Amino acid sequence: MTVAKNAFYAQSGGVTAVINASACGVVETARQHPEKIAKLFAGRNGIIGALTEDLIDTSLESDADIAGLRYTPSGAFGSCRFKLKGLEESEAEYKRLIEVFKAHNITYFFYNGGGDSADTCHKVSQISEKMGYPIQAIHVPKTVDNDLPITDVCPGFGSVAKYIAISTREASYDVCSMAKTSTKVFVLEVMGRHAGWIAAAGGLASDEENDIPILILFPEVEFNQNAFISKVKEKVETYGYCSIVVSEGAHWPDGKFLAEQGTHDAFGHAQLGGAAPVVANMIKDALGYKYHWAVADYLQRAARHIASKTDVDQAYALGKAAVEMAIAGENAVMPTVHRISDEPYVWEIGKARLEDVANVEKMMPKEFITEDGFGITGACRRYLSPLIEGEDYPPYKGGMPQYVTLKNTPVKKILNTEFKL
């Protein structure tokens, strides 16, 4: 008779409007298989929770509260930016993971995150082979940047895309109404370090029924100041105003980001933020147009109130699939979204090997960007449009969305030994 083992789940990197929907899928599915998974522990603040033996007992959460995660933004268990290095470089950290996993009878590992998290998950999957401890590691995809390979889309992206498309349209209507005597240019800065998927979503604000002058600055296209200024002038002279969506990763031909601050995050990536004012002032200096700019920042990834139903459904399904793959004996894999058709939008769950996912970024295809480098093509529109489809509103009370806060009761420590990060 097979004895049920425990599982570990953690959230990693920047949170999204739907990462908790994936958590809901993981927890609810684990509860349906008590013969395989005895308890599911969550790491408080991601993988750090495993290293410090700071575990959360999800079995003490009610079914109603776990179900409520589906419509609650942010990371219910806390997230982190902490990347494990290779087994040789960080042997102490991997030994510590094994100590904690052994102490708490954990043999299933679910890690919910983006590219760096896929790399961490892949390294954890190698513990079984290289350090002699049986562990099945499954990565649950999540990133608003939409830059994981193989999967058609990453949970979190569809909702950000919807928020940016709506915000660009609404702000454009505002600017249009004021353009005669006031603001002629609105600049919206969005996330996207190397891949312009989020910026591209701004292009959805304009369609056959809403002819809005929009320029997009992609990370995939080297910034040409003269060409850009010329395009802005053309749009304003034609429409009276212009809206610009700039990715935080927009860069000069020498590779330097327009928004680079000179600092770096825990993963070694340049800290970005400030492309919008750079672009706005550039326009003011060259053309004299009055402008307003905004940085979507956390608002774009926290906006559960306007989440894409497609995104929510996919986030839950991938969390569910991760558990099903684990109990089926899989290791070092990631469930994916496989697109079958655009219209109607039909998708199914697929599977990718982590060695093919870790540290690989999926950029915008050239055929998704117009020849002038400032817009999206029909092919891009066909890709993006179904991802923002559908509304999945959270419950409201007193005019405000009602979200869930879990108890997050700690698991009693067995090792009781301090581990310095």
Provide the pairing of β-strand 37-43 with 5-11.
parallel
CB 164 within 8 A of CB 198: yes
Q: Estimate the share of the chain in helix, then strand, then coil, as percent rounded to the nearest 5.
A: 40, 20, 40
Residue 191 per-residue DSSP state:
-
- For 52-185, where are the alpha helices, taking DSSP H only? 63-68, 91-103, 115-125, 127-131, 157-178
Cβ partners under 8 Å of residue 16, min gap 6: 73, 142, 143, 144, 155, 156, 159, 160, 301
Q: Which long-range contacts (CB under 8 A, 24 or more apart) does 338-341 make?
A: 338/151, 338/152, 339/152, 339/153
The Cα-based distances of 21 to 101, 235, 316 in angstroms read 25, 41, 5
Active site residue 174: no
Kind plus residue range of the DSSP H or E element containing 333: strand 333-341
Dig out the tokens for 188 from the structure.
Answer: 């919206």
CB 9 within 8 A of CB 23: yes
CA–CA dist 87, 138 (Å, integer): 18
Please pick, among 116, 145, 313, 392, the residue that the annotation labels catalytic.
145
Largest CA-CA distance found in the chain, in angstroms, rounded = 78
The Cα-based distances of 257 to 192, 222, 279, 321 in angstroms read 12, 10, 12, 38
CB 299 within 8 A of CB 163: yes
Cβ partners under 8 Å of residue 162, min gap 6: 201, 306, 307, 308, 311, 388
CA–CA dist 334, 351 (Å, integer): 6
> What are the strands of the beta sheet with 333-341, ordered from one edge?
55-57, 37-43, 5-11, 106-113, 136-141, 333-341, 346-353
What is the 3-class SS of 249-282, one letter each residue?
CCECCCCCECCEEEEECCCCCEEECCHHHHHHHH
Instruction: Using CB atoms within 10 Å of the CB of residue 33, give its burial: 0 to 12 exposed, 13 to 18 middle, 19+ buried.
Output: middle
Q: Which residues are catalytic?
A: 145
